[in-house]
Amino acid sequence: MSQEHRDWQVEKQRLQTVTSLIKKKKEDLQEVSADLKKDVIELRRTFWDDVTVNIDEPDDVLETQASMKQRAELLSERERSHGLLHQQAKTLRRLEEAPYFGRIDFIEDGEKEAEPIYIGIASLMDENDEDFLVYDWRAPISSMYYDFAPGRAQYPTIEGDVEGEITLKRQYIVKGGELEGMFDTGLTIGDELLQALLGQQSTPQMKSIVASIQREQNQVIRNERSKILIVRGVAGSGKTSAALQRVAYLLYKHREKLNAGNMLLFSPNPLFTRYVSNVLPELGEDNLQQTTLFHHFQKRLPKGWQLESPYAQIEYFLSEQVEPIRSQGLAVKTSPELSDQLHAYLASLSDSGLMFKDLYFRGDVWVTKMQMEQYFYQLDERMSIPNRLELVVEWLLQMLQITEKEERPNTWVDEEMDLLDEETYKRVFEKVNENEDELGNDQMMEETLLRKLVVRRKIQPLRKQIQAFDLVDMEKMYIQFYRWANNKVIAEEIGYFFQDKKLHWEDAAPFFYLEDQLKGRPAYADIRHIFIDEAQDYASIQILYLQNLFPTSRMTLLGDANQAVHAHTNAGHSPLIEDPSAQKQETITLLRSYRSTQPIVEFTKRLIPNGEQIESFERPGPKPEIMHTGDEHEKDLCSLVQELTKRDSGTVAVITKTFAGSEQIWEWLDREGMSAQLIHEQTSEFKEDLLVLPVYLAKGIEFDVVVVSDASAAEYHLERDRYLLYTACTRAMHELYLCANGELPPLITEGVRQSYVQG
């Protein structure tokens, strides 16, 4: 019997032993959980039976409260225990499918024998809970599996690094508790495993494949040094997956003081949010909070206002009717210099320039903007603007109390009292009766209470406005800023849109940042980690806004400058560029692409500058195919899509440049009887295997087959179009087709032509 065969038998037997133990642990856990569930149900049913309720004397009240508290704490403890057992059961079910995926044999310096260390998605102890049969992939000792080849290695502990030698590094393919493959490997995770994983068809949700983490991705996952971590990863390099596994690692490492509620991911759109929603639950962790910057700003909008979505902005700048003033304004509002200008403007407001708005009560001016301005600038200018505004608010609330008393005898109150409903009269009458010793029991006291009630209700909106610091005329302040910065034309354009209560996407961050700097805003102290995906599409002011909102949070920025699709990114300003002055900032670059086959990567990397730096993973597949359609564009494209869907190619995505283009393609396919899902910016999940979507909504997502609807020079002729086309093509995992309705664009040069075939 060969050594290889003996190893296979030993590993197969060990796997059977481990899975048998998992089944036993699962059965034991089910029994304990069932008993605990009965306890919880019984405690809930008999809660009041065992509580002594007596409120006759003060001591009895205290005794009753103590009894209730004791009972509630007991119930809460049982419920927590049951929840913990439920989580343990979920973990065991996942381990039963595949207890582990890797192994290293490690001889610690000073020891004589190597210890086999098996690595899986969660830890597993032996029957006596004394020794580890499987180590969690996030444990410090497991880091050696990702970071070292056989030979000298080390891993961190609280007491310092443990050093030694790895004598064996082995990987397994385990499915349904059965050993399907194993092989010994070197530094990186073996090609055999990656081939098996990457060759599978795409799914509607991203999978968490911790077995395939590469060394450079592991650096992203376990980085705890950096306040700001920038991950620049080429298309398909696994940066988003690594970031989510970073979340899982941090939750594991700091489980005593960190939970999923302390983390927030800014996604590009709802579809992406849904796409990545499965990763953390697969690893046994709760999902972190997710939102989009657009959704965040929408919640801050004043009532009745409309905010342009980032994708509506993209569509506008891809159109042929772009106003020059809008382009000029975009360049100013997204430039790195904008923050310095805003801070200089804010400094200038210390002694003059703050613009208030009149406050109204019952349709008349109650306090004028001039009165507030005078009061504000009489205060010590060494105080910050938010602190001075707080004093203005206190002054106004004091005056409001006086106004409230003064208004009660007025005749308008009589008119309002006549309109009160019967229920209100009844409540006031009952209150008078309850407090007859203090108030007396007569009609006069009833009227006094009713007058107080009427005035309080009428004055409440004004009180809320003051308490919300809604005193400063933010619209005028924002317009004034551009006048102050000698951008009068831009100021006029903003004023024009503000008349219709509309806010351009590029105005949202500077507008709300200015508001926060003037009024002050409580920081989100509970958020400890911020993750921003597709960060290359963020302007400098948007990042600054988030840093101001989450000042104590660590920030992870993920992106690829070659996938920048927003108009402002053409200026070369990107948060992915390192700031030499930034404290504790670190950049990790991922250059190897795993998503696409080697032929697709070799084609796409020729579309962009410095693309030769991109490394392809050696996964075979057909070369990308370019089809010249000409006058038969609709017919040829529909025929191609029909052929792809008939042979069960997995998910087929027809990617267009604009949403208008997607709508047209969807109508063509519908006429041909093909059931396709048209993806728009509110779409949150895939419902079909045939999808039609604009390129900017496809970012971060992968499909088995991609058809670029029209890769002609007419469609992709500008320099910025290079990155749109690159983004579209890099969504393909296995097959890529480009339909060209006319001549090919100049960016598909002679150097590119050798990497595709003609259809």
Q: Which two tokens stand for residue 562?
A: 């070659």
Q: How far does the chain reach from its first CA to its final CA, in angstroms?
A: 52
- Rounded to whole angstroms, how far apart are CA atoms 533 and 272? 10
Provide the Cα torsion 232, 234, 236, 238; round to 10°.
-20
Question: What are the phi and psi torsion angles at 178 (to 5°)?
Answer: -110, 140
Helix, strand, coil percent content, the chain, rounded in steps of 5: 50, 15, 35
Residue 417, amino acid? M
Q: Is 654 exposed, middle or buried (0-12, 13-18, 19+ CB in 10 A)?
A: buried
Contacts of 337 (CB under 8 A, 6+ apart): none
CA within 13 Å, CB half, 114? 16
Q: Are 480 and 498 in contact (CB under 8 A)?
A: no
- Rounded to whole angstroms, how far apart are CA atoms 729 and 723? 10
Between the alpha carbon of residue 216 and those of residues 137, 180, 259, 421, 555, the distances in Å are 16, 27, 26, 70, 19
Binding positions for ATP are 233-240
- Rounded to whole angstroms, how far apart are CA atoms 661 and 705? 19
**Angle at 205 (CA atoms; ends 558, 243), nearest 5 degrees:** 25
Binding positions are 233-240
Q: Is 629 exposed, middle or buried (0-12, 13-18, 19+ CB in 10 A)?
A: buried
Phi and psi based region of residue 40 (left: phi greater than 0; alpha: psi -120 to 50; beta: remaining)? alpha
- Rounded to whole angstroms, how far apart are CA atoms 137 and 241? 15
Query: Where are the extended beta strands (E) located within 525-656?
Result: 529-532, 554-559, 585-590, 592-593, 615-616, 625-628, 652-656
Provide the Cα torsion 567, 571, 575, 581; round to 10°.
-160
Residue carrying structure tokens 């749109």: 724
